Amino acid sequence: MGNTQVLFSQRIRKFVKNNGSVVIFLILALLASLFVKNFFALNNFLTIIKQAAIPVIACLGITLVLMTGGIDLSLGYTLGLCSITVGLFVKTVGLPIWLSIVLTLLVGLLVGLINGTLVQVVKVPAFIVTLGSGYIIFGIAQIVSSGSDVNRLPASFRAIGVTNILGLNTTVLISLVICLIMYYLLHHSTFGRALAAFGFNAKAARMSGIRSEALNILVYMICSFLVAIAAILLTIRVNCAQPTMGGGVYTFEVITGAIIGGASLFGGIGTVIGSVFGVLIIKVLENCINLLNVSYYTYQAFQGIVILLAIIFENVKNRKL
């Protein structure tokens, strides 16, 4: 048995360990191409990418939160709040588009600030804080909108997300830019390093000079900020601002994407590539469900099983590899 053989299997193991979701994605895509009619088509691939673009943004946000060992169950409801906020500002109140967007992003930051402060300063467990804040946000969204949607948004607003530049949709481009920024943040900057250390061992991180208190709060703010961006883009895409947009189902889907992508519930582990491919895996599955004409309800139930398998797999992997 030669040295090169040992090295090769070691490298494979390392690749799988660090990029499990890419591998799963490729296998899935392969299987789909073979067994699902109409899957293997450029049009279809573009559709999948388009559908993944927006959730990826939110998923990157929740990945950061998961890396601290926390959770944000208010994510889906924040999406709805930001959606109706931007819609009301742009159409009903009639503010200039740039201002509407800025204010909506501020709303996102505010939500994150409140969540983060309650978790870090008041030390209430994250799942309680965000469970409660989620409902509060949902209530606020409903009240602010009087329960109704805002339709027929101005074309100039829509243009932000729907234009085609160099053949690619602006929404996809924005998503790509955010991915690149997050990639830098998480894998090439001191922020990412500090975040990982904090997630693994908050005490040691603090005693090594990492400003863990500020970091924890900041992460929730970034998450909600990204969710606000996603909300704006999604509102543009469906041309309708809805207070009910997203909701608990969306939260769940985004968390699933992050966990399939390898983010650990216990903190410290999370990658941009992993989360992106985690979302892609979900969208591929959705795509296949559609092409195969399976009931969407089946898929919803199925999704939970997928996340369970992902968690179990993660667990086993972290202990064995």
**Which residues of the shown chain bind other proteins in the complex (CB under 8 A)?**
71, 73, 118, 122-125, 127-129, 131-136, 138-140, 142-143, 147, 184, 188-191, 193-194, 196-197, 200-201, 203-211, 248-249, 252, 255, 265-266, 268, 295, 297-305, 307-308, 311-312, 315
Minimum gap (Å) between residue 204 Cβ and other proteins: 5
- Token digits for 156? 């100039």
Pick the closer one to other proteins by CB: 70 or 161. 70
Tokens 């030669």, residue located: 2
Pick the closer one to other proteins by CB: 99 or 317. 317
Q: How far is CA 291 from the centre of its chain?
A: 24
Given a contact cutoff of 8 angstroms between Cβ atoms, the answer to whether 62 and 276 are in contact is: no
Minimum gap (Å) between residue 129 Cβ and other proteins: 6
Minimum gap (Å) between residue 298 Cβ and other proteins: 6
Pick the closest to residue 228 from 141, 109, 96, 129 (CA basis).
109
Tokens 């990157």, residue located: 60
Pick the closer one to other proteins by CB: 162 or 306. 306
Pick the closer one to other proteins by CB: 161 or 270. 270
Minimum gap (Å) between residue 195 Cβ and other proteins: 11
DSSP 241: E
* 3-class DSSP state of 168: strand
Minimum gap (Å) between residue 169 Cβ and other proteins: 30
Angstrom distance (rounded) from CA 210 to CA 216 = 11
Pick the closer one to other proteins by CB: 132 or 176. 132
Pick the closer one to other proteins by CB: 77 or 89. 77
- Token digits for 35? 């067994």
- E strand or H helix at 164, and its extent? strand 164-165
Pick the closer one to other proteins by CB: 90 or 210. 210
Minimum gap (Å) between residue 70 Cβ and other proteins: 11
Tokens 């530049």, residue located: 165
User: Cα separations (Å) of 314 from 50, 169, 243, 259, 261?
Assistant: 28, 34, 35, 8, 10
Minimum gap (Å) between residue 150 Cβ and other proteins: 17
Handedness of CA 279, 280, 285, 286 (dihedral sign): positive
Angstrom distance (rounded) from CA 81 to CA 202 = 32
Pick the closer one to other proteins by CB: 9 or 33. 9
Cα R_g (the chain), whole angstroms: 20
- Token digits for 103? 């204010």
Angstrom distance (rounded) from CA 252 to CA 258 = 10
Q: How far is CA 315 from the centre of its chain?
A: 21
Minimum gap (Å) between residue 289 Cβ and other proteins: 12
